[in-house]
Chain A
Amino acid sequence: MKIVNLLAALGLAALGLAGPAEAAETHVAVAANFTEAAKEIAAAYEQKTGDDAILSFGSSGQLYTQITQGAPFEIMLSADQERPEKAVKDGLGVVDSRFTYAIGKLVLWSKSADLVKGAETLKGSNFTKLALANPKGAPYGEAAIETLKALKLYDTLQPKFVEGNNISQTFQFVETGNAELGFVALSQLKGDVGGSRWLVPQADYTPIRQDAVLLKKGTSNPAATAFMTFLKGPEARAIIEKFGYAFGTDS
C-alpha cells in the first residue's frame, strides 16, 4: 500500500518534471492528521488545473511556528481554528479567507484485534502505554485529553501517556506496538490497518474543526487561491468525506 503510494508519488513527480514549464505551484502546510486526504486532494487538484500543490506535514503548532518565522507556505490547513484565527490576527493570514474544511473524528485504536471494546477498555488495566499527540501542539491530543477528562480517567491514566510529536507519530507508536493503544484520527484508519477501535462519541470532546487559511504569501499566487477554491469544491469534499471527516461547511 505504502509502496504503491510512493511509486505513484514518484510517477507524479516525474510527470511534473516533464510537464509544461508554466505549471504553477503552491506550497501548502498540512496538519499531520490530514496527510493522506491532502495527498489525494493535491493529486486531484493537479489533474484538474495542471498546477502543483507542494505539501509539508507537521503538527499544527510546529507549522504555525514555522509560518511566523517566514516559512514559504501560502496556505495553512490546520487541525484547529485557533491557529488560522491567530494567523489572521497577526497579519500573516488573509482576512475572510478562513473556512472550516473538515471536522475531525477521534478514535481509540489498538493494533490488537480484541483490545479496544469501548470506553470500558480505558477503565481496565490491561495496557501499559496510551499514546496520544502532544496536546500543546496537536488538536487531536487536546481532544484526547478532553475525552479522558470527560470519562474521569485523566488522573489515573496520565502515568501511562506517551506523546507523539504529532498525530502521525502517535499512530506510528501504536502501529509498531510500542503503545498498546492510542488516540488517533479516524482519517488515519482508512485502508487496511486492522486492530480494534472505538469511535469516541462527539459528546466527549469539542468538535475538531479544522480550518484552512490563505496566507499573505499566497495572495499574489493564483495557484494558491485556486487551491483554496478547489478545497471547497465537490471533488475535494468527496475525498474529505471518504477519509471519515465531516465536511466543514455543513455544520
Chain B
Amino acid sequence: MPAGLSPDIWQPIVLTIELAGTTTLVLLILGTPVAWWLSRSRARWTEVVASIVALPLVLPPTVLGFYLLVGLGPNGPGGGLARLWGARTLAFTFHGLVIGSVIYSMPFVIQPIRNAFDAMGERPLEVAATLRASPWRAFWTVAVPLARPGFLTGAILGFAHTVGEFGVVLMIGGNIPGKTKVLSLAIFDYVENGQWREANVLAAGMLVFGFAVILAMRTIEARAARVGA
C-alpha cells in the first residue's frame, strides 16, 4: 500500500467482495430454476416474466433505490421482515443491500443461463430420457454441464455488475463503514472530499478489474464457440 493512504481504504474493498459474492450466490441459486423455466416453458406469459426479469436493465437505479427505500422501510414488507428479528428496517443493512443487489443484478445472471439452456435445445435431454435418466438427474448431469459457459458468464457478470452498483447503494445504504459503504460509495466520498489519491487508487483498481472481467468473458465466449464448433 502506498504510504500516506488512509488505512480504512481496504474496508470497502472487502465489503464489496462480500456483497458481490453473496449476491452472485443467491442469484445462482434463485436464478437457475427461473432461467430453466423461462427456457422450457411454453406458457404465454413466459415473455412477461422474462420482461420483468430484464426490467432492471432499463430502469434508472434511482427508481429501484426509491422503491427499495420505501419497501425495505418500516412501513414496507422489508420492515415487516426485519421485525422478525426485532429490527425495524432493512435499509442501511448488509441484508438490505443484498436484496437490492439481487434485484439490480438479476438480468445479468438469469439471461446468460437462459441463453445457454436455449442453445442446448431439447435434444440432449430427450436422449437422456431415452437412456432412462430421471428429469432431475438429466438436469444435473446433462443440462447443467452443457450450460456451463452460461453459468460462468452469469456469475462473472452478476458479480461484476454488483461491484459496479452505485445508485441503489447510495440511496438505501446510509454509507456505514464496514456495513454498507461499498467501493463505489467510497470512491464517491473520496472524490467529494478532495482525497484524490485514495480515489485514484480505488478507481484504478476498478479499471483493472473491469478490464479483467471483460477479458474473461471474451475468453469464455471464444472457448465456448470453439467447443461448440
**Contact residue among A62, A136, A177 (Cβ-Cβ distance under 8 Å from B75):** A177
Is A65 touching B174 in the complex (CB atoms < 8 A)?
Answer: no
Name the interface residues of A55-100: CB closer than 8 Å to any CB of B.
59, 61-62, 64-65, 68
Number of residues of chain B lying within 8 A (CB) of chain A: 22
Query: With contacts defined as CB atoms under 8 Å apart, how many contacts are there between chain A and chain B in the complex?
Result: 65
B57 within 8 A of A: no
Residues A178 and B73 in contact, CB atoms below 8 Å apart: yes
Q: Do residues B193 and A136 form an inter-chain contact, with CB atoms below 8 A?
A: yes
- Contact, CB under 8 Å: A177 / B194: no
Decide if A136 touches B192 in the complex (CB within 8 Å): yes
| Interface of B: prevailing SS | loop
Residue contact B92 to A162, C-beta cutoff 8 Å: yes
Contact of B170 among A128, A161, A165, A180 (CB under 8 A): A165
Q: Is the CB of A137 within 8 A of B72?
A: no
The answer to the question of B70 belonging to the interface, with a C-beta cut-off of 8 Å to chain A, is yes
CB-defined contacts of B70 to chain A, threshold 8 Å: 176
Q: Evaluate contact between A61 and B175: CB separation under 8 angstroms.
A: no
Q: Which residues of A contact B75 (CB under 8 A)?
A: 176-177
| Shortest Cβ distance from B194 into A: residue | A65
Give the interface of B toward A (CB within 8 A).
69-70, 72-75, 87-89, 91-92, 170-171, 174-176, 188-189, 191-194
**15 further interface pairs, Cβ-Cβ under 8 Å (given A61-B194, A178-B69, A178-B72):** A61-B193, A62-B192, A64-B194, A68-B194, A128-B87, A129-B89, A136-B192, A161-B174, A163-B175, A163-B176, A164-B174, A164-B175, A165-B175, A172-B69, A180-B88
